[in-house]
């Protein structure tokens, strides 16, 4: 887990937001028991984006790219807030999987320069 | 009758039903990408399997079709698939905020209950401050039982299945699991056209 920076120290560079998001997605999906990574964006925004993407696919005949952000990285109270929403495969216990997802995120952040983290939110949205 | 507020991720229940009819092809990311829709679809699939099993068992029976209980269950599936409240999961880190949604828990309760033969789960409700760690919670489940079956042992099997699912997937302080058998269902006779076609 990340600690507060020393006074005056520059914040470590966690990489570009896109890089960090992609790395976190990979880390979360690698956790045993995670079978789906849902969009962490607000529902309305995700529905609109999904409808647009589906329409584009219908018009162009080309598979749409999955551009919705599965891992939300934002700033909160001077640190990073990471939020993910997952589906869990039923043989695995949802609490154990969510804790492992949290720990996988902290491990990944450690590799990205251990930025200040104010919150890591893991929501189990479906168990199957 | 459903209204727009009953939609799941912008989809009506009829649209989800049509999607199942098409065997979920072509894949629709505006449905597949939402856990609420997935929970509802899984519940509908299990109910359809039960209906098909009943048809096979009673293919020759010519009684009046009674499917109001099916419609009632479908409405509960739709309502209960919504995310609802966040149920906390503990973690020693002060920055961790882990949770399982109420909709996900209702979904596994329904799945666990549907796994008990000759019983179909109607409504699932979590009563209590589920968002507050350690607060006492009562689980209330309504179910329908196949006519002719002995209800007390079935209810006990259901209660055990629900407790098992709850203890595996939540940290809720479950004070009680109340089960009410609301109705008995009869095997559903096939519609007339089904007689001419082969079963799935």
The CA distance from B140 to A87, in Å, is: 24
Of A50, A118, A124, the CB nearest to B95: A118
The CA distance from B107 to B175, in Å, is: 20
Which pTM value belongs to this model?
A: 0.77
What pLDDT does B182 receive?
A: 86
Cα separation values, B198 from B21, B46, B188, B194, Å? 17, 20, 17, 7
- Residues 73-102 of chain B whose Cβ lies under 8 A from any Cβ of chain A: 83, 86, 89-91, 93, 95-101
The CA distance from A94 to A27, in Å, is: 17
For B39, name the nearest residue in chain A, comparing CA atoms only: A126
For residues B42 and A128, the answer to whether their CB atoms sit within 8 Å is yes
**Choice between B3 and A104, residue whose per-residue pLDDT is larger:** A104
Q: Which residues contact A41 (CB under 8 A, 6 or more apart)?
A: A49, A68, A69, A72
Lowest-confidence segment of B63-72, B82-91, B130-139 by average pLDDT: B63-72
pLDDT at residue B137 greater than cutoff 90: yes
pLDDT at residue B65 greater than cutoff 60: no
Chain B hits for A126, Cβ within 8 Å: 35, 38-39, 103-104, 107
Positions of E strands within chain B:
86-89, 96-101, 119-127, 136-146, 173-185
Q: How does residue A5 score in pLDDT terms, banded at 50, 70 and 90?
A: very low
For residues B91 and A100, the answer to whether their CB atoms sit within 8 Å is no
Q: How does residue B147 score in pLDDT terms, banded at 50, 70 and 90?
A: confident
CA atoms within 13 A on the CB side of B32: 13
pLDDT at residue A42 greater than cutoff 70: no
């Amino acid at each position: 887990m990340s600690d507060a920076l020393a006074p005056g120290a520059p914040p470590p560079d966690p990489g570009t937001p896109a890089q960090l998001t992609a790395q976190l997605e990979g880390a979360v999906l690698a956790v045993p028991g995670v079978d789906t990574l849902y969009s962490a964006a607000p529902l309305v925004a995700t529905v609109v984006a999904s409808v647009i993407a589906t329409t584009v696919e219908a018009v162009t005949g080309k598979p749409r790219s999955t551009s919705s952000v599965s891992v939300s990285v934002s700033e909160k109270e001077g640190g990073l807030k990471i939020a993910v929403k997952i589906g869990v495969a039923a043989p695995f216990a949802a609490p154990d999987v969510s804790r492992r997802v949290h720990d996988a995120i902290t491990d990944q952040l450690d590799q990205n320069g251990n930025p200040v983290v104010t919150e890591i939110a893991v929501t189990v949205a479906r168990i199957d | 009758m459903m209204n727009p507020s009953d939609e799941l991720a912008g989809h009506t229940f009829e649209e989800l039903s049509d999607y199942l009819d098409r065997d979920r092809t072509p894949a629709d990311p505006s449905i597949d990408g939402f856990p609420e829709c997935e929970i509802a679809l899984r519940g509908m699939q299990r109910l359809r399997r039960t209906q098909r099993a009943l048809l096979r068992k009673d293919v020759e029976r010519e009684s009046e079709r009674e499917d109001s209980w099916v419609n009632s269950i479908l409405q509960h599936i739709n309502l209960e698939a919504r995310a609802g409240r966040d149920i906390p999961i503990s973690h020693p880190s002060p920055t961790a905020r882990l949770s399982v949604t109420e909709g996900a828990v209702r979904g596994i309760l329904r799945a666990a209950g549907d796994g008990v033969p000759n019983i179909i789960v109607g409504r699932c409700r979590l009563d209590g401050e589920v968002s507050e760690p350690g607060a006492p919670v009562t689980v209330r489940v309504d179910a329908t039982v196949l006519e002719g079956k002995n209800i007390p042992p079935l209810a006990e099997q259901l209660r055990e299945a629900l407790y098992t699912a709850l203890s595996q997937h939540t940290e809720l302080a479950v004070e009680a699991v109340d089960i009410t058998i609301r109705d008995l269902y009869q095997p559903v006779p096939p519609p007339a056209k089904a007689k001419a076609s082969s079963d799935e």
